[in-house]
Structure 1
Amino acid sequence: MAASKIIKKWNILPTEFSKNSINPLRLLWETQQPKGNPKLKEIHLQPGDPTLYGNFPPHPIIAKAISDAALNDKFSYVECLGSRIARQAVADYSQHMGKITADDIILTTGCSMAVEVAIRSLANPDENVLVPRPSWNYSTWIHGSGILAKYYNLNPEKEWEIDLEDLQNKIDKKTKAIIVNSPGNPCGNVFSKNHILDIIEIAEKNCLPIISDEIYEFFTIPSVKFYSFATLSKTVPVLVCSGLTKRFLTPGIRLDWVIVNDRGDKLKEIRKGFQNIAGRNFYPNSTVQHALPKILSEVPQSFFDKNNQMIHNNAKIVYDRLKNVPGLNPIMSKGAIYMLIGIKLEKFPNINSSLEFMQRLANEQSVFTFPSEVFNFPGFLRFVLTSHDEALVEACERLSKFCEKYYKDKTYETL
């Protein structure tokens, strides 16, 4: 009997899926996180968690609903798409989109999974989906699956509207969907009705469905109205990704959803894959599903109005204090919980990028932000607007001091 071949050393390599599933925010956090100035109290404005600072608590009805549900829950598996009672509650909550039924709802463990379900239902490996730039890290759920993200630009000079010409130019024969995000992360943008209609027109012209990330739905400053893409589309199918995470101030609950807004039964074949993809996971939390009808129907509008006003007040604090700081260009937030602060890097000759700006600001002033490199659009810092107002005031004062130290007006110096 011939001797078997002996493997002399271990050689276990990571898969392509794991190598390509990169979260740029997490990567930056783990590899390039500044240490801060030990002489100053740290001010953290990075995480998009509205509950982090304690001044945006969830409504008491939510905790009571979950507590009551836990007493009656058998903690059994439910349908992979979610229990019919919970899905019907989402359908009832979403009637502003039109006629929605429980069969149009897919419950997911977080909105990240909702986005992944939508992407993987529409695109195969080697095909592409269009992604806004700057944007949240959609590429994490795209590239790991062998799908290509093609980036179209948002325009900071037009309050982060989509560059429609650029969007059209990025479409090719392998494009399978357009991802949109309004209210948006990291820009705080909210698209107008007319702008949404222009986007839908491009989607219709090219026969492309829309994946609309609306996790910040209705989370807008008081003077701005939110429009769901699904309310305005008459012919283009829209997969709306939303849930409890942001508007209800409960990111740790991990219960969100996809709403299938079909038009003309164009997604008939795609629907068959939703259950297969959703069934790859062990279903959303059963207790929260039991509580969902009460949460969606009983949390009062006054709760949301108060939160929107607080975000608006914080946005005004940041904008008003930074708009006249030499070298900075804040763009006023209209919604979500973010604002991007533009950096005129040519005025800071000793700083080479917004990433370096962020690192030095943290090291010297203990103000921690995210640079817009992680959103694929360098030249900005992202402020999260859910901190206490006094912390935001202090952060702006320290940022102003930092700019005063490093700002150089080359034009003036050459006169």
Structure 2
Amino acid sequence: MPCLLALRCEIATHSPHESAVDPKRWAIGANPAALRSLNPIRRAMESMPTVQGRGKKPISLTLGDPCAFGEIKAPQVAVQALTDAISGFHYNGYSQAAGIYDCRSAVAEFLSKDLPYSLSADDIFMTAGCSQAIQFCIGALANSEKPSNMLLPRPGFPLYQSFCNLFGVEVREYDLLPNSDWEVDLRGVERLVDPDTAAIVLCNPGNPCGSVYTPHHLTQVAKLAGKLRVPIIADEIYAHMAFEGSKFVPMGAFASHVPVLTVGGISKRWFVPGWRLGWLSVCDPDCVLKEAKVLDAFTNLAQMHLSTCTPIQAALPKILQNTPQDFFSQTLDTLSTRADLCYERAQKTPGLSCPSKPRGSMYIMIRIDSDKFKDLRDDKEFALALAKEEALGVLPGSAFGFPGWIRLLFAAPETILDESWDRLEAFCTRHTK
């Protein structure tokens, strides 16, 4: 024991690192990449005041959660499938990192219905929501050994930029054209691409714009990307949520021109965002991505994650196969009516305008004519004052890289939307010159 005490004393008094350590400071520092990788939507929401403007009950049209108002519920088929999976006690352990085979096969079969070729289970990776699928795509294509860049839409879902920041990828934004149904500025894309461009991100149906691209426009995008030799990451979490006579066509249908990584899931269309089940599908009939070992990168990322929630994976085949079409038809009719309501009220409200009626998803982008307001300099001041005065939460366009606009969720019940627009109209009338 005396020898052990002497050894400890010697280590404590003669450490070779003693002179390099400041006893008053901890050697701790946050990762700068993580600090840069903020989520502007969440930050904007959390900075909104919680006071009840003018004594009114707060209404939030900010977060894209279709369940927030408790009106539209998940189909009973989905609830029963998950109940059966949990009560069977067979899915409490880990699955393969890529996901349960039967689950991946069901997703492949489901997606293949809209494609000119067939996907297999090996083309599918299950993820914790669509956001993790986006993370996998950006992480797998980012080149850590040399500078790389990705093209993101503006306005666009800010999580793309967050993940690019995390993986050290330069962000280059291409414009969506508000007066042309938010189509891609193809010339702008061509100017931005260089030999270090790793991918082009496309969201259809669109968040935050509510756009749905025509087959002709998707063909143009695919041919341009093929010519530039740059793959596409297609965010299709709102797949088939199209109305106003529009029809959703998956980007993977054009994979003969360009390899496509499609991300999706059940969060929005089935009204279960809290279930956190998404997928990544590799639409690559010419095996360009496979030969570049991108699938190997996905496998490694999935193995670090261990596995996606197994009971929900087990329930997914029944959910995909048995959800009645009436459920989708009714929810789309409901969303379409509410989109019309918001579009019409926007045109009648002083200082606001909307160049394009939403044709899908759950959002509408509204332009603020700042020249018509006497004391609101920008979209951030607009959103902040609206929350303070009317207890109404909307997101400033700046959160999507598009200042001078606001985004509203139109998945709320019509009574709430009417009340929201009454408040918005009163607010604008009060602040216009």
Instruction: Give deviations 1:179-233, integer Å, cap 9, x for gaps.
Output: 0001011110111111111111110111111000000000011411111111133
Aligned to 1:168: 190
Aligned to 1:129: 150
* Structure 1 Cα separation of the partners of residues 22 and 196 of structure 2: 43
**2:92 aligns with one of 75, 81, 88:** 75
Instruction: Give deviations 1:208-262, integer Å, cap 9, x for gaps.
Output: 1100000000001141111111113323110100011111111011110001000
Report the residue type matching 1:7 in the other structure: D
- Contact 2:54-2:389 within 8 A present in 1 as well: no
Deviation at 1:33, TM superposition (A): 4.0
Question: What is the identity percentage for the equivalent residue pairs of Structure 1 and Structure 2?
Answer: 33
Aligned to 1:186: 208
Paired residue secondary structure (1:279) = helix
Q: Does 1:248 align with 2:270?
A: yes
Aligned to 2:7: none
* Structure 1 Cα separation of the partners of residues 368 and 271 of structure 2: 30
Aligned to 2:22: 7
Report the residue type matching 2:409 in the other structure: V
* Structure 1 Cα separation of the partners of residues 267 and 98 of structure 2: 18
Report the residue type matching 2:22 in the other structure: I
**1:328 aligns with one of 326, 347, 352:** 352
Aligned to 2:221: 199
* Structure 1 Cα separation of the partners of residues 387 and 31 of structure 2: 35
- Contact 1:55-1:386 within 8 A present in 2 as well: no
Aligned to 2:342: 318
- Contact 1:327-1:347 within 8 A present in 2 as well: yes
* Structure 2 Cα separation of the partners of residues 88 and 173 of structure 1: 36
- Contact 1:221-1:312 within 8 A present in 2 as well: yes
Q: Classify 1:74/1:335 alpha carbon distance in 2 versus 1 (closer, same or farther; 3 Å).
A: closer
Aligned to 2:428: 403
Instruction: Give deviations 1:62-88, integer Å, cap 9, x for gaps.
Output: 110000011222411110000111100
Report the residue type matching 1:397 in the other structure: D
**2:72 aligns with one of 53, 56, 63:** 56
Deviation at 1:381, TM superposition (A): 1.1
Q: Does 1:283 align with 2:307?
A: yes
Report the residue type matching 1:337 in the other structure: M
Instruction: Give deviations 1:288-315, integer Å, cap 9, x for gaps.
Output: 1111110000001111111111011101
Report the residue type matching 1:99 in the other structure: S
Paired residue secondary structure (1:267) = helix
Report the residue type matching 1:270 in the other structure: V
Q: Does 1:37 align with 2:53?
A: yes
Structure 1 residue runs without a partner (length 5+): 409-415
Paired residue secondary structure (2:380) = helix
Report the residue type matching 1:13 in the other structure: G
Q: TM-score, normalised by structure 1?
A: 0.95
Deviation at 1:16, TM superposition (A): 2.1
* Structure 2 Cα separation of the partners of residues 360 and 334 of structure 1: 29
Paired residue secondary structure (2:411) = coil
Paired residue secondary structure (1:94) = helix
Aligned to 1:110: 129
Deviation at 1:349, TM superposition (A): 3.3
**2:371 aligns with one of 319, 336, 346:** 346
- Contact 1:36-1:42 within 8 A present in 2 as well: yes
Instruction: Give deviations 1:134-178, integer Å, cap 9, x for gaps.
Output: 011111111111111111011111111111111111111210110
* Structure 2 Cα separation of the partners of residues 275 and 74 of structure 1: 21
* Structure 1 Cα separation of the partners of residues 47 and 166 of structure 2: 21
Q: Does 1:26 align with 2:50?
A: no
* Structure 2 Cα separation of the partners of residues 327 and 278 of structure 1: 48
State the Cα RMSD in Å: 1.4
Q: Classify 1:33/1:282 alpha carbon distance in 2 versus 1 (closer, same or farther; 3 Å).
A: farther
- Contact 1:236-1:263 within 8 A present in 2 as well: no
Instruction: Give deviations 1:89-114, integer Å, cap 9, x for gaps.
Output: 10111111231110100000111110
Aligned to 1:271: 295
Paired residue secondary structure (2:288) = coil
Q: Classify 1:102/1:13 alpha carbon distance in 2 versus 1 (closer, same or farther; 3 Å).
A: same
The structure that has the greater radius of gyration is 2
* Structure 2 Cα separation of the partners of residues 36 and 351 of structure 1: 20
Q: Classify 1:34/1:374 alpha carbon distance in 2 versus 1 (closer, same or farther; 3 Å).
A: farther
Q: TM-score, normalised by structure 2?
A: 0.92
Aligned to 2:119: 100
Instruction: Give deviations 1:322-346, integer Å, cap 9, x for gaps.
Output: 2122211123111000001111111
Report the residue type matching 2:357 in the other structure: M
Aligned to 2:6: none
Report the residue type matching 1:104 in the other structure: D
Structure 2 residue runs without a partner (length 5+): 1-9
Query: 4+ residue stretches of structure 1 with deviation over 4 A?
Result: none
